[in-house]
Chains A and B, each alone.
Chain A
Amino acid sequence: MKLQNLAIIFIVIMLPISIVLSAYTRNQIKTLNLQTSYDSKLVNSTYDAVKAFQINTLSNTSSDVASSKMRDIKASANVFFDSVANSFGLSGYNADTIKNYVPALVYTLYDGYYIYSPYTNNLGEDITLYNNSTYQNGQTVQGLKPYVYYSCRYIKGNIDVVITYTLDNYITVQGKVGENYVNKSGYLLDNIDITNDIVKYRNVEIEKENIQERVIIDDDESKKTAIYPYVQLNGVKYYLENDEKIFSVVNGEKMYLSNNLAEKYRNDYFNDDNDSAINYYKKAKEFTDWVRDNLGDLKYSDAKNENGESITDSDGKSVNGLYGNTLIFKKQDGKSIEDEDSNFNEHRIAVIRYAIQKNLSIAIANFNDYSNSNNEFQMPNLSETDWYRIIHHPSLISFLQGLAIGGKMYNGYAVITNDKTQEVVSEDSIFIVNGDQYSRVNEKGLNDKEDLIGYFNVDFEKKLYRINDENYYCYPHDELGSYSSIVNQTSVESYTSIYDYLSDKPDLAKAYYTALGRERYGMYRVNYDNYINN
């Protein structure tokens, strides 16, 4: 055979093969590209939703209260769907279509979480409800499911309690200890030493302090601002005006306390410098001692589900951190209960993770009944890094599944943490003010500076004021973010444990521990024991 013939036969065989192969690879590349672009769109939309939640809650002073928080969360979920519809608009999906592919949005908060997913409205037997309700019986509604706490039941001897954990060391104990019903909550902390009314935490003396912030005064036309001393009680800041009147700012409007109450608050909180931090450590010690005395014998394996049975995963296997003979609250040698790797914290993280996983996998599996898509919805495996973020910060987890992307079905999720929130005073949410700037705790050389004072990071965000139906904004603190640790992170030291990092920096440690205590003490609590009923 001639060379030409051979060449043609070769080409005739090879050409289709190479065309098919190249088409196949192109398809694969397209699928991958599409997947990456969907991933980034999902992350962007989730970020938008978190940002909306942040902006809404920061300008809403009652955002701690459950009903108000639910409104903020629903608003944030709307933003999510709007944003998803916007960014997938070019791909031809609108908001209603996309709802068929989002099995759940999970808002993890301080002591529990909400799942936003469709459910069937059930009005029950009561006929009067049928005429008055917004949604009909049996109608599918998109909304928030009941709040699920990070809690666990413990049964041992004469103890039968439910302990609710949070993103930090705060726990609530409810139930029966011996013959007594208890409903107690507080922080678990070691290393507190109280002698002769001097409170020391990790050998650092905690002292009273003078704290103040900037507020808009609307008395005149100029909308001037002024600096007032304040005290934060149960999530509300009370400012002292001209050593006489006391006001708080409720949803952007100034509210004065009545004269009687103002006098009481003046005497209780403004006669001397602010002692919230001292109270925080005193109460924490008291509570920790109580827990050790009464619940010191509780082991990992005493954790039961709501029916009093041992906790297992769906395959019947034991769950890591929820079995074994390790004592939960006992003082460990060389370790404090607030350390990341203490027995208590390992157990706490296991409970939180189990609580989220259990309900979420059910919610996602149930979504098959509501979606019009042919996809089989399943909970994806969340990576360990994502779990770490979920367990340490309030966050939003969004899921998007079942969109066709060429060769396969898209199955993705996004976790965005919300680090500017009044929900939790986490260990990295304290900024240190010195001079005219504020910095992160781990900025190099911060310990050598003088007059350090710490504040909550949210207090460096602008606050909304509403005067005669006009919006005004004001920054509570005048200081500017440090270029080396807030704007950029060019001059920061890394640490594994903030407590170890601070152990040889006494001045910084004092500012930090005082601020941490003060901000945690002032947080909104459901069972606030000092609440004055007026």
Chain B
Amino acid sequence: MENSTITVIAIILAAILMFVFPLMTLSDTSDDVSQLTVQTATSEFVDNIKKTGKLTEENYGKFIEEISATGNAYDVELKAKILDENIAKKSDKVSKDKIGENQSYDVYTTQILDVLEKDHVYTLKEGDTISVSVKNTNTTISQQLKNFLYKVTGNNSYQITADASGMVTTNGN
């Protein structure tokens, strides 16, 4: 009797060791690869906006396609800080285009996407800032396995994240 109990325990342990662990490692690696792909795509996407001064529907579509190719669902947040004239400026000799001295207002994902849908391009100018952050919204296999073994993941946990931001250096039009 004692023998068979130990055998059962041994089999369970062996199964965990032989199947679950390799699976976890494998899925972890696949998440790492996705992470890298998403980070690279995000940086490229932002760099392109910085250099050209515009966000085109085509580029946005390509970016979404690229990150979706990793097999996960993502939440993409766009934020543009638009440089505006400082209403409290002290002198009228002050250039209204000075970067860093004037005020800016923020434009967020839905507003940008609305413009994209209508005009197919969102134009930025010198000194505006664009930031993009990406998080996965589905639960990846690696997360599922981890949840099965130890439940530390809360409500807001995501495995794959990427962000990039920067100042636009050309006037797009």
**A residues in contact (CB < 8 Å) with B:** 2, 4-5, 7-8, 11, 44, 47-49, 51-52, 55-56, 59-60, 71-72, 74-79, 82-83, 86-87, 89-90, 251-252, 464, 471, 473
Pick from B17, B163, B169: contact of A90, CB below 8 A. Answer: B163
* Chain B residues positioned under 8 Å from A72 (CB to CB): 98
Inter-chain CA distance A90–B39, complex, in Å, is 13
Q: How far is the CA of A94 from the CA of B108 in the complex (A)?
A: 17
Q: Does B119 contact A (CB under 8 A)?
A: no
Alpha-carbon separation in the docked complex, A251 to B96 (Å): 11
Q: Which A residues touch B10, using CB under 8 A?
A: 4, 7-8
Q: How far is the CA of A5 from the CA of B7 in the complex (A)?
A: 9
10 closest A-B pairs by CB:
A75-B100, A78-B100, A79-B100, A48-B167, A52-B99, A75-B101, A86-B165, A90-B163, A87-B165, A86-B131
The contact of B129 among A82, A90, A464, by CB within 8 Å, is: A82
Asked if B87 lies at the interface with its beta carbon under 8 angstroms from chain A, I say no
Q: CB distance B166 to A52 under 8 Å?
A: no
Closest to B131 in A: A86
Q: Knowing A51-B169, A83-B166, A87-B163, say if A56 contacts B99 (CB, 8 Å).
A: yes
Q: Are B99 and A75 in contact (CB under 8 A)?
A: yes
Nearest CB in chain B to that of A471: its residue = B97
Q: Could you tell me the distance between the alpha carbons of A72 and B10 in the complex, rounded to whole angstroms?
A: 71
**How many B residues face the partner with a CB closer than 8 A?**
29
**Whole-angstrom distance between the Cβ of A16 and the nearest chain B Cβ:** 13
Listed A/B pairs (23) with beta-carbon separation below 8 Å: A2-B6, A4-B7, A11-B13, A11-B17, A51-B169, A52-B167, A55-B169, A56-B98, A56-B99, A60-B95, A75-B98, A75-B99, A75-B100, A75-B101, A83-B165, A83-B167, A86-B131, A87-B164, A87-B166, A89-B133, A251-B93, A251-B95, A464-B97
Chain B's nearest CB lies how many Å from the CB of A63?
11
B residues neighboring A (CB under 8 Å): 3, 6-7, 9-10, 13, 17, 81, 93, 95, 97-101, 104, 126-127, 129, 131, 133, 161, 163-167, 169, 171
Whether the pair A90, B133 counts as a contact (CB closer than 8 A) is: yes
Query: Please, which residues of chain A bring their CB within 8 A of the CB of B161?
Result: 90
Q: CB < 8 Å: which of A2, A55, A89, A473 contacts B163?
A: A89
Task: For B102, give the chain A residue with the smallest CB separation.
Answer: A75
Report the bound CA distance from A60 to B127 in whole Å: 15
Contact A55 B9 (CB under 8 A): no
Closest B residue to A251 using CB positions: B95
A83 to B165, CA, bound (A): 8
CB atoms of A4 and B100 under 8 A apart: no
Which residue of B has the minimal Cβ distance to A14?
B17
Query: Does the CB pair A74–B3 fall under 8 Å?
Result: no
The 8 Å CB contact of A83, one of B101, B129, B133, B171, is: B129
